[in-house]
Structure 1
Amino acid sequence: MAELAFFSGTMDCGKSTLALQIQHNRSARGLAGMIFTRDDRAGEGRLSSRLGLITEAIEAGAGFDFHAHLVRHLTAGGRADYVIADEAQFLAPEQVDQLARVVDDLGVDVYAFGITTDFRTRLFPGSQRLIELADRVEVLQVEALCWCGARATHNARTVGGRMVVEGAQVVVGDVGAHQEVGYEVLCRRHHRRRLTAATAGAAALSPDVLPVDAATAPRAD
């Protein structure tokens, strides 16, 4: 039986690397797959890993219909033994429904990979729908680490090294990016305190020190 599997985790936990590994393993056994992605860090029509691996992919932008695309491909005599959909958090709920139809109607395995929550700790619509529909949901076991050494569980958006909690849900960037807008993975404690590696280092705070607002700090009279 074909299945819809969703592999999830924070940024920097190896989702795209696993997607490329699955593609490699299956192609080595003579299976033919179709790879889709959206807003990959390497640019349009690319599936890339931070380890430097990269492959061509079909860009599944807004309005793209997975089911219709597979039907056209198969009707024209093409072959598809499996589908890989990376950056699945960016998909619309109806596109996830289309992936489920690819499994149920066409008998093709679908492996989706994505971040579960955004920088505000809210579920991405695509990830939420995958959790609702997937036959199997797996949290990746390669643990990303917060700057303090604890397991990273949350994604933070940074501007100039400082964590922000407002703005559009989707802004393409990367972990550790040397640009104004970037991303960092944090443990829940430091996400709640908005302590990134840069701000914690600047304040010379240890992981166990509570942040104190200067306006509310006790006076040393």
Structure 2
Amino acid sequence: MTNRDRSGQSLVTSRIGLVADAVLIDDDTDVFALVEGFPSSRIDYVVCDEAQFMSVTQVDHLARIVDESGLDVFAYGLLTDFRSKLFDGAARLVEVADEMHRLQAVVLCWCGRTAFMNARIVDGVMVRTGDVVAVGDTADGPMQYRALCRRHFVAGREVSRARLWARIPCVL
């Protein structure tokens, strides 16, 4: 399932072009009832993308699915928004999850440090105000997101991709 995928459709999509069918939920979806409504022979586990956008109640539904249905639930999403504040859904996931793991893919800031802050860049300038949720494929538009280390997030410094590549030496 997904909530607010960038495609706006019943899909899980990635910026590199991967696409998978999904059940689209919204803020009013009873996630427990949704899963319970599927024939049990059709569900081996539940995968939730964009879990940060789930409500606290929906995250509690996920825990209930694990506890009452015996299904494993895998929830993927961001912890913090562009202001470095926890999303409500992410905060509740941290509170009730049996396990938490950062993805194995290491995302690096332009300086080479581990990047775990999500900077919103509007017309080339890092912003700290605005609607918390801005969904869509923003990779090439006036609004973009960049992963930064805490130091550069706090300082408000980001470097364009062109400058990033210029900083990486090529050693063969």
Q: TM-score, normalised by structure 2?
A: 0.88
Secondary structure of the equivalent of 2:106? Answer: coil
Aligned-pair distance for 1:173?
Answer: 4.2
**Corresponding residue number in structure 2 for 1:172:** 135
Q: Distance in 2 between matches of 1:44 and 1:181?
A: 21
Structure having the larger proportion of residues in strand: 1
**Corresponding residue number in structure 2 for 1:209:** none
Q: Distance in 2 between matches of 1:116 and 1:133?
A: 14
**Corresponding residue number in structure 2 for 1:186:** 148
The code of the aligned residue for 1:191 comes to F
Give the paired residue count.
162
1:68 and 2:30 are equivalent in the alignment = no
Structure 2, unaligned runs of 5 or more: 168-172
**Corresponding residue number in structure 2 for 1:30:** none
Q: For 2:158, which of 196, 202, 206 is the aligned residue?
A: 196
Q: Distance in 2 between matches of 1:38 and 1:135?
A: 22
Secondary structure of the equivalent of 2:47? Answer: strand
Q: For 1:152, which of 115, 119, 126 is the aligned residue?
A: 115
Q: For 2:4, which of 27, 39, 45 is the aligned residue?
A: 39
- CA RMSD of superposed structures (Å): 1.7
**Corresponding residue number in structure 2 for 1:48:** 13
**Corresponding residue number in structure 2 for 1:21:** none
Secondary structure of the equivalent of 1:184? Answer: strand
Q: TM-score, normalised by structure 1?
A: 0.69
Q: Distance in 2 between matches of 1:69 and 1:150?
A: 41
Q: Distance in 2 between matches of 1:195 and 1:134?
A: 33
Secondary structure of the equivalent of 2:101? Answer: strand
> Retained in 2: the 8 A contact 1:67–1:101?
yes
Larger radius of gyration: 1
Aligned-pair distance for 1:86?
Answer: 0.5
1:162 and 2:125 are equivalent in the alignment = yes
Displaced runs of 4 or more, over 6 A: none
Q: Distance in 1 between matches of 2:96 and 2:7?
A: 29
Secondary structure of the equivalent of 2:38? Answer: helix
Change (3 A) 1:174 1:149: farther
Q: Which has the higher contact order (CA 8 A, sep 6+)?
A: 1
Aligned-pair distance for 1:50?
Answer: 2.8
Aligned-pair distance for 1:43?
Answer: 2.7
Structure 1, unaligned runs of 5 or more: 1-35, 207-221
Aligned-pair distance for 1:146?
Answer: 1.2
Q: Distance in 2 between matches of 1:49 and 1:172?
A: 13
**Corresponding residue number in structure 1 for 2:170:** none
